[in-house]
Structure 1
Amino acid sequence: MKYSITLLIVAGAFILRAQPAQKTYCNPMDINYRYNYEQLNDSISYRSGADPVIVNHKGEYFLFVTISGGYWHSKDLVNWKYIVPDKWPMEDMCAPAAISVRDTLYLFQSTFEQRPILFTTTPETGKLYFYNRWLPRLPKDIGPWDPALFYDEELDKWYMYWGSSNVYPIFGSELDKKYRLRYKGSYKELIYLHPEEHGWERFGRDHRSTITPFTEGAWMTKHNGKYYLQYGAPGTEYNVYANGAYIGDHPLGPFTYAPYNPISYKPGGFVTGAGHGNTFQDNYGNYWNTGTPWVAVNWNFERRIAMFPTGFDKDGQMFANTRFGDLPHYLPVKKWQNKDELFTGWMLLSYKKPAIASSLLDTFKVANITDENPRTFWVAKQNKEGESVIVDLQREQQVRAVQVNFTDYKSNIYDGFDQKIYTQFRIYTSRDGKQWNKVVDLTNEKRDRPNAYLELPNAVQARYIKYEHVYVASPNLAISDIRVFGNGDGKIPKTPLKFSAVRDLDTRNAFTKWQKVPGAVGYNILWGIAKDKLYQTYQVFADQPESLEIRALTKDVSYYFAIEAFNENGVSKMSEAIFVK
């Protein structure tokens, strides 16, 4: 009888600890971003992810990122295992190209020198082999930098696209399979930027700089017989980094500028910037577009990775859905039919909510952790176990998920520290600030999660959220944002009234205005080339002015504009779309 009772107790403990499979994800991606050793920045290091390529290889996913010492493997797009190859043949890869064809994954790095194409049929093992030894060198400064490999199954031909410059264009060339994918014939100039016509290709924050913009990050997708040549612009170090597309009937063109550009654009919110990524399909046939949101704390090019649901509408228009693109979304279990159906409806509960910290270093105030800005942060007086932060949601709400975003303030971590780099903490909730319930405990994990997204197994009614620190490898405990998601029990906001959109004399710009909505947390300005194609979104918080200049339009293209309001309870109905010639 004693043994039976013991077994029941053990079984019960196991059931209590069992966690249901995660059903949602939230940008930026929750992976162990590697410390960058390329730019030592006066003995300051930083975690960064840039230039992502996700490849679906035999039903599983592989993520390649600039200068990461390896790559990642996932079976579900949410749990990623870091893999260190048995050897890099040359050096760590910058802006790599990857493609899966039949049973083989091919891999190539950015270079201005002669470098090999690698291959493997088992990338999950980390074993890579030479497919060719040396791709012939191109003329000085031509590349191939930021390369993309493309195989056209229908034509049974191979191609490469590349370019990263504010002088040179995006190039393309056919590759010769007979000679192990060497260049076949001469390369072609395919895409130049035209910021004088395309407002979104202008450099700077909200496209306000006169610096010559950069084009980079080429990628090719074939859909319904059309070739969508994608490119990143105007530069990674601002909120407006985006992906655009030209369309053609042949892999090497000629290509025509898509009037609805950019295809992936996210200038507002916590995650800003969606440029330089790739497009891939999951196991259900859904398309995704990846990009590199901007962080820029220890270095101006410090970034993370995001992925957005992507589609082609009935007219062949390619679009990435960045609306609420940094709030929780469901992982698909089938092919989605509506661009917004993956959005959970879990709203941001923590924006500008008061917080209390156990300690404070210098002027790094605790209010920074709820301001939705990754470039401001709180720093504890000491990096020690027991430091804590309490966020007051100001009223009891239904909490569904928490995201903790760490900052590498004065980090000194370099190569050889791997065994010491992990993230441990606990999350508690409370209804009254006195009795606390532990809902997350990462103290038994040794994973590095600088952007940890934690979906709760069940919804929790809570007013207070407490972060309790255990360990980070950095010299300082620094957190940019603790983001809380769920739903309040109040009313959703009303649709903003008196919304207007007027085109500037410089038709690359338009001025929008609206009437403030009581109780709104923020607004989404939506626009596109038709009433049913409002694929672009600029998110604005309600403590900012009730006006916004949109500087991402294309000359000689007419648009429709609309607006919606959101708060902790949900999203208003969208306003009537306004035609702007």
Structure 2
Amino acid sequence: MPLKPLLLCVAVLAPLSAVADVRWDSPHVGNPILPGYYADPSLVQHEGRFFLYATLDPWGGRTLGCWESEDFKHWEYRELNWPTKEACTSPTSKGAMVWAPSVIRAPSGRFLMYVSVGNEVWVGAADHPLGPWSDANGGKPLIPETYRPGYHMIDAEAFVDDDGSIYLHWGSGWGWVNGKCFAVKLEADGVGFVGEPVDVTPTNYFEAPHMIKHDGRYYLSYSQGVTISDTYQVHYAVGDSPLGPFTEAANSPILVTDHARNVVSPGHHTLFTYRDRHYILYHRHRVPWVEREAYRQICVDAIRFTPDGLMEKITPSHTAPALVQGRGAGRLAAAATSSSEFDPTHAASRVVDGNYATRWAAAAEATDGWLQLDLGAEQAVGRAEVRFEYAWKPVKFVLKGSLDGRRWTTIEDHREVAFTGSPFVAHVGTETRFLRVEFADGTKADEMSVWEFAAYPDRHDTPSL
């Protein structure tokens, strides 16, 4: 059922260096903003809604992750028809999956997507952020893998200037060294090049360029380091033209690893403005961090400019700005138990803490299993919501309710037809005390994992988790 829009309340921010924060596993924190593993975010605001596109982790999938929100707190997973690994393959493609989207609304009103597939850059177009999307370049890459031998043709990011001109910045290196940034002005259709691309590589550049304009100057921010170690970080440089030259700022880098606070390798970001405030949307590693893994999560923090035009250094937070805080308000208090637990960090209690950095996982040796909420007494429940670990992977389960914990009534049965998406939402519409997710026979241990499990009163105006 449609939910009523929530009003956003953006508080006045303290200096970034003085923002109060909490532990990464504290209840009801705002970062990460999505339940799952995503990287390389891009954001579009359209008709009062946010559309967030990202790489599926680890190391991409056969398509992209896409989420939609009306308030930046409560997100729903959406499936896109394009791009796919199968549709974006050419004679020069390599084996890399679908990575690093950049989505803009062109001056024509159409939406354009630049995306890395097979170590090449492809471009698609659509009339709406959710599509349907179609290839915009005749079924071939805009930038083939062979375009600049020795460099990595990935991470294309589009920028629309005040006069409607579109520019594209892209490029990386191989083996985590020798990064190179290329730039070019595009034709009005966002596909053809105007002239030859130029090398605009600033110091300490490796990949993931992103451009904004502020007070008449052009800010090229980018990532440097190794994303699967703890060296990934955000730098920036400033120039007088989208095509450079760019000079790295004196206070760069501005966003770096902080092991003491469990923030590892923040980077590959996008900058956006909402209600006259500036934000940085970026990925960082899940906790606990394991070197060489690529399980990253999307976070947001505020960013400010000094009077002399510098970007202030960012203290990455777990609380997140007011833009995100308050997620999950109105759900019923509940205690969670389960058939087994992987370890104390992945206990059943994690599914009621309102924190997307924490989750329940079944024991490694588990075969089949269940996850249960106890509301403490019989209550009128309007709906139940479950956010499984992977929004794009099918899950087979049945949702049941009970007044006494012994006799159970089936609410929804997905044992035959698996569910994909996030959140799973079930209409309950009755009094109950217990709610239980029972995984189908044969479900593997690593497929039994949930970020959040919540019940809401029998009201239609309660926001979803």
Mark yes or no: TM-score above 0.5: yes
Q: Tell me by how many angstroms 1:404 deviates.
A: 9.2
Q: When the two structures are superposed, what TM-score results if normalisation uses the length of structure 2?
A: 0.62
2:32 match: 28
Q: Tell me by how many angstroms 1:219 deviates.
A: 0.7
Candidates 129, 137, 142, aligned match of 1:135: 142
* Structure 1 residues 147-158: aligned runs within 5 Å: 147-154=156-163, 156=165, 158=167
Q: Tell me by how many angstroms 1:306 deviates.
A: 1.7
Q: Distance in 1 between matches of 2:412 and 2:102?
A: 37
Cα 1:162–1:384 shift into 2, 3 Å: same
Q: Distance in 2 between matches of 1:318 and 1:483?
A: 39
Segments of 5+ residues of structure 2 without an aligned counterpart are 9-28, 90-96, 329-334, 375-384, 406-410, 425-433, 455-465
User: Is 1:326 matched up with 2:318?
Assistant: yes
Cα 1:377–1:131 shift into 2, 3 Å: same
Cα 1:111–1:322 shift into 2, 3 Å: same
Q: Specify the code of the residue in structure 2 equivalent to 1:288.
A: Y
2:116 match: 110
Asked if structure 1 preserves the Cα contact closer than 8 Å seen for 2:31 and 2:357, the reply is no
Candidates 425, 444, 452, aligned match of 1:475: 444
User: Is 1:288 matched up with 2:262?
Assistant: no
2:179 match: 169
Identity among equivalent pairs (%): 18
SS of the counterpart of 1:191? coil
Q: Specify the code of the residue in structure 1 equivalent to 2:112.
A: Y
Q: Distance in 2 between matches of 1:122 and 1:143?
A: 30
Q: Distance in 2 between matches of 1:249 and 1:302?
A: 37
Q: Tell me by how many angstroms 1:106 deviates.
A: 1.3
1:305 match: 298
Asked if structure 1 preserves the Cα contact closer than 8 Å seen for 2:226 and 2:232, the reply is yes
Q: Tell me by how many angstroms 1:188 deviates.
A: 0.8
Q: Distance in 1 between matches of 2:243 and 2:121?
A: 23
Post-superposition CA distance 1:135-177 (Å, at most 9, x none): 3541213242111122223383533233244332331222341
Post-superposition CA distance 1:382-417 (Å, at most 9, x none): 464544599xxxxxxxxxxxx999768xxxx9xxx8
Q: Distance in 2 between matches of 1:87 and 1:373?
A: 27
Cα 1:99–1:387 shift into 2, 3 Å: closer
Cα 1:145–1:386 shift into 2, 3 Å: closer
Q: Tell me by how many angstroms 1:56 deviates.
A: 2.6
* Structure 1 residues 361-440: aligned runs within 5 Å: 364-366=342-344, 369=347, 379-380=362-363, 382=366, 384=368, 386-387=370-371, 420-421=394-395
Q: Tell me by how many angstroms 1:217 deviates.
A: 1.1
Q: Specify the code of the residue in structure 1 equivalent to 2:182.
A: G
* Structure 1 residues 435-454: aligned runs within 5 Å: 448-449=421-422
* Structure 1 residues 196-215: aligned runs within 5 Å: 215=206
Q: Tell me by how many angstroms 1:218 deviates.
A: 1.0
SS of the counterpart of 1:305? strand
SS of the counterpart of 1:26? coil
Q: Specify the code of the residue in structure 2 equivalent to 1:182.
A: F
Cα 1:468–1:483 shift into 2, 3 Å: closer
Q: Specify the code of the residue in structure 1 equivalent to 2:150.
A: D
Post-superposition CA distance 1:175-206 (Å, at most 9, x none): 3417942262242141242xxxxxxxxxxxxx
Asked if structure 2 preserves the Cα contact closer than 8 Å seen for 1:106 and 1:120, the reply is yes
User: Is 1:159 matched up with 2:128?
Assistant: no
Cα 1:178–1:100 shift into 2, 3 Å: closer
Q: Tell me by how many angstroms 1:470 deviates.
A: 3.9
Post-superposition CA distance 1:423-454 (Å, at most 9, x none): 88899xxxxxxx99xxxxx979956459x9xx
Cα 1:115–1:426 shift into 2, 3 Å: same
Q: Distance in 2 between matches of 1:111 and 1:18?
A: 35
Post-superposition CA distance 1:5-33 (Å, at most 9, x none): xxxxxxxxxxxx998766788222335x5
Q: Distance in 2 between matches of 1:162 and 1:80?
A: 31
Q: Distance in 2 between matches of 1:298 and 1:100?
A: 37
Q: Distance in 2 between matches of 1:345 and 1:178?
A: 40
SS of the counterpart of 1:260? coil
User: Is 1:236 matched up with 2:227?
Assistant: yes
2:461 match: none
Q: Distance in 1 between matches of 2:6 and 2:178?
A: 44
Q: Tell me by how many angstroms 1:225 deviates.
A: 0.8
Post-superposition CA distance 1:75-116 (Å, at most 9, x none): 423323413216644156322232222312111222677654
1:184 match: 195
* Structure 1 residues 565-580: aligned runs within 5 Å: none
Asked if structure 2 preserves the Cα contact closer than 8 Å seen for 1:168 and 1:192, the reply is no
Count of residue pairs the alignment pairs up: 374
1:492 match: none
2:93 match: none
SS of the counterpart of 2:51? strand
Asked if structure 1 preserves the Cα contact closer than 8 Å seen for 2:234 and 2:266, the reply is yes
Q: Distance in 2 between matches of 1:483 and 1:320?
A: 36
Q: Tell me by how many angstroms 1:286 deviates.
A: 3.0
Cα 1:29–1:108 shift into 2, 3 Å: same
What RMSD in Å do the two structures reach over aligned CA positions?
A: 5.0
Q: Distance in 2 between matches of 1:328 and 1:158?
A: 31
2:81 match: 85
Asked if structure 1 preserves the Cα contact closer than 8 Å seen for 2:169 and 2:209, the reply is no
Cα 1:135–1:470 shift into 2, 3 Å: same
